[in-house]
Structure 1
Amino acid sequence: MRQLRGFTVVELVAVIVITGLIAAIAAPRFIGRDAFDARGAYGTLTSALRYAQKTAIAQRTNVFVNVNLGTRTICLGYTSNCNVAVLDPATQTAYIKILPNNIALNTATPTIGFDGLGRPIPNATATFQIQNTVVPAEPARTITVEAETGYVR
């Protein structure tokens, strides 16, 4: 007698059930962007603060970060109101970044500057808190600019 090779119906059903479970659990994490927007906003604001500090040190001048809480816009400039803009190294245009709509941004210091030594202006600790408004289970992310040193963490 000949022995047939292949999969049994039970094995095929088990594979289909496991694939379905993985798709039901993992797919929403990859399809929905809402959970990643707060992380992206955190990275964008952190990099803008660090770029402003490094530019101030490199050019030995004051560079300001202006965060508009209403429009969630970040701009870098040589004046506190961004009239004279710092250039974005990627686009060679004014450094302006817009954060996603589904995040809440809170800070007591919407405008912070860095002097030629990298120290913050005003010389005080500044904190920025980013919260996802669509996915409340996401933890709030906090960015701190240290007084005296201007260290961004």
Structure 2
Amino acid sequence: MVELIIVIVLVGILSALAITRFFDRTVYDTETATEQLRNILRYGQKTAIAQHRNVFVVLGPNSAGLCFANENPCSVPNQVLAPSGQNSDSAATRAACNSRTWMCEGRPASITAGANPAITFFGFNSLGQPFNNPNAAAFGGLTFTLSGGGNTRTVSVAPETGYVF
């Protein structure tokens, strides 16, 4: 009988702690935004290799998208289409990207993001190698930091290979 009461008390304590995590959506938004950014970068690299052309990652104040030209904002003819024909179509994406078919995702307002070094674009060449200046051979790597709800995640692009992790 005592064991049953102890188990019930422990389950009550654990559920009280776990329930507070369910109501903090910012933690989940941070994880989602991190995975979306990784997917955009990986898809950009694969598209550059498959189509044997440069693909640029356009970084807006609240979004990240793929473009076949080095322009910000990306014009409709140069937008890389999402692989499934549609992006996530979230409220943040609709507000930041203005297109449902563009490989672009918006970042929720509760998430802060930054790049080190601070840049507004970089791209992948036809070999999948990253660059931030088409005339320069050196790309020293890039790290994005996304934070929200006390949760911080990073996304990095390795120099030379373009490996996204």
TM-score between both structures, scaled by the size of structure 1: 0.80
Q: C-alpha separation between the residues in 2 aligned to 1:141 and 1:30? A: 19
2:127 to 117, 122, 129: 117
Partner residue, 1:144: 156
Aligned to 1:80: 70
**Structure 1 stretches of 5 or more lacking a match?**
1-7
Q: CA deviation at 1:33?
A: 1.4
SS in 2 for 1:97: strand
Amino acid at match of 1:60: H
Whether the aligned pair in 2 keeps the contact of 1:109 and 1:127 (CA below 8 Å) is no
Taking the aligned partners of 1:19 and 1:121, their CA distance within structure 2 comes to: 52
Which SS does the other structure have where 1:88 is aligned?
A: coil
Tell me the CA shift for residue 18 of structure 1: 3.5
Q: CA deviation at 1:31?
A: 3.1
Please state whether the residue corresponding to 1:100 is helix, strand or coil. Answer: coil
Compared CA separation, residues 15 and 56, structure 1 to 2 (3 A): same
Structure 2 gap ranges (5+): 87-100, 133-137
TM-score of the superposition, structure 2-length normalised?
A: 0.74
Counterparts of 2:109 and 2:59 in 1: how far apart (Å)? 14
CA offsets, 1:35-68, max 9 Å, x none? Answer: 2222111111111001000000000001111111
Q: What does 1:52-91 correspond to in 2, within 5 Å? A: 52-68=44-60, 70=61, 72-81=62-71, 82-83=74-75, 84-91=78-85
RMSD, aligned CA: 2.0
| Secondary structure at the counterpart of residue 64 of structure 2 | strand
- Select the residue among 81, 94, 99 that pairs with 2:107: 99
Say if 1:55 and 1:63, in contact at 8 Å, map to a contact too: yes
Shift in Å, 1:15: 5.6
1:121-143 alpha-carbon deviations (Å, 9 max, x no partner): 224122211111xx23x2x3222
- Equivalenced residues, count: 139
- Write the letter of the residue equivalent to 1:91: G
Q: CA deviation at 1:150?
A: 1.3
* Paired letter, 1:126: L
- SS of residue matched to 1:36: helix
Distance 2:107 2:64 in 1: 8
- Which structure ranks higher in relative contact order (CA pairs < 8 Å, sequence separation ≥ 6)? 2
CA contact (8 A) 2:48 2:128 kept: yes
Question: Max radius of gyration: which structure?
Answer: 1
SS in 1 for 2:40: helix
